[in-house]
């Protein structure tokens, strides 16, 4: 049966498999971390501006519609193949959802609540820390969750530009019509993606303040 053959393939090639898995996780985690580091503070900051925000959000909305493989492919003539170009492309893909959600999350905090906090004597920094961010957290984490799934899925495609990862088994499997190898790539990639979704979904719930 195909599943058994796939399992045997892993047993016969542990180095290759775990190497690819490690690369996949490394690519995904790094891209997500970078995207969060860039987009989250920017989104929060943009919520306080007007003109800059409109431009940035419009750009992000366009960025969100771009086909993942197109973005990965466009990076190749510019940065070549390998881990770093893939990381660059995946980070780009992860930026829009986090930026848009961070911005929206802070914007939609009820002004009355902020007024109340100011009335209680909080400084601007305290308002951001104790009121705005906690209320904004669920929406921000929803954005991170979306980005995480996108990045893990995108990392599968990184195989096309030499980024390594589980996509290598899928492309090899298709090229050679070797179905077990195909599954060795496809099933773990799917499980990773589902896992990431579960993980960030759980974090989202855990970090939602009790009042919401």
Partner 1 sequence: MKWFLNNWDQVLAALGQHIVIAFSAIAIAFAMSLLIGVWAARHEKVFRAAITITGLLYTIPTLAFLALLIPVVGLGKANAIICMVAFSLMIMIRNVAVGIREVPREVVDAARGMGMSTTEILMRIELPLALPVIVAGLRIATVTVISVAVVAAYVNAGGLGTLIFSGISNDYAPKIWAGALTACALAIVADLSLAQLESWLRHRAD
Residues that bind partner 1 (CB under 8 A): 2, 61-62, 64-71, 73-74, 76-77, 149, 152-153, 156-157, 160-161, 167, 170-171, 173-174, 179, 182-183, 185-187, 189-190, 193-194, 197
Which CB atom, from 202 or from 209, has the smaller least distance to partner 1?
A: 202
Which CB atom, from 44 or from 192, has the smaller least distance to partner 1?
A: 192
Nearest to 94 by CA among 36, 162, 138: 36
Contact 99, 91 (CB under 8 A): no
Residues 164-182, buried b or exposed e (16+ Cβ, 10 A)?
A: bbbbbbbbebeeeebebbb
Distance CA 102, CA 59 (A): 15
Q: How far is the CB of 140 from partner 1 (least distance, A)?
A: 20
Q: How far is the CB of 112 from partner 1 (least distance, A)?
A: 25
Q: How far is the CB of 12 from partner 1 (least distance, A)?
A: 20
Which CB atom, from 191 or from 207, has the smaller least distance to partner 1?
A: 191
Which CB atom, from 199 or from 207, has the smaller least distance to partner 1?
A: 199
Q: How far is the CB of 63 from partner 1 (least distance, A)?
A: 10
Distance CA 75, CA 154 (A): 13
Contact 164, 23 (CB under 8 A): yes
Contact 130, 117 (CB under 8 A): yes
Structure tokens at 60: 């992000």
Q: How far is the CB of 132 from partner 1 (least distance, A)?
A: 27
Q: How many CB atoms lie within 10 A of CB 11?
A: 9
By the 10 Å C-beta count (0-12 exposed, 13-18 middle, 19+ buried), 38 is classed as middle
Q: How far is the CB of 181 from partner 1 (least distance, A)?
A: 10
């Amino acid at each position: 049966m195909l599943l058994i053959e796939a399992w045997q393939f892993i047993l016969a090639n542990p180095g290759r498999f775990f190497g690819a898995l490690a690369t996949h996780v490394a690519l995904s985690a790094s891209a997500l971390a970078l995207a969060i580091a860039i987009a989250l503070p920017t989104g929060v900051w943009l919520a306080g501006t007007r003109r800059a925000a409109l431009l940035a959000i419009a750009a992000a909305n366009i960025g969100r519609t771009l086909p993942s493989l197109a973005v990965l492919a466009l990076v190749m003539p510019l940065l070549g193949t390998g881990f770093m170009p893939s990381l660059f492309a995946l980070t780009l893909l992860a930026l829009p959802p986090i930026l848009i959600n961070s911005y929206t999350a802070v914007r939609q905090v009820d002004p009355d609540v902020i007024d109340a906090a100011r009335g209680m004597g909080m400084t601007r920094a305290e308002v951001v820390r104790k009121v705005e961010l906690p209320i904004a957290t669920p929406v921000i984490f929803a954005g991170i969750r979306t980005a995480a799934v996108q990045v893990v899925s995108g990392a599968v495609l990184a195989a096309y530009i030499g980024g390594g990862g589980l996509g290598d088994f899928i492309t090899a499997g298709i090229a050679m019509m070797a179905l077990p190898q195909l599954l060795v790539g496809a099933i773990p990639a799917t499980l990773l993606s589902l896992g990431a979704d579960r993980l960030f979904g759980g974090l989202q719930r855990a970090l939602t303040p009790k009042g919401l």
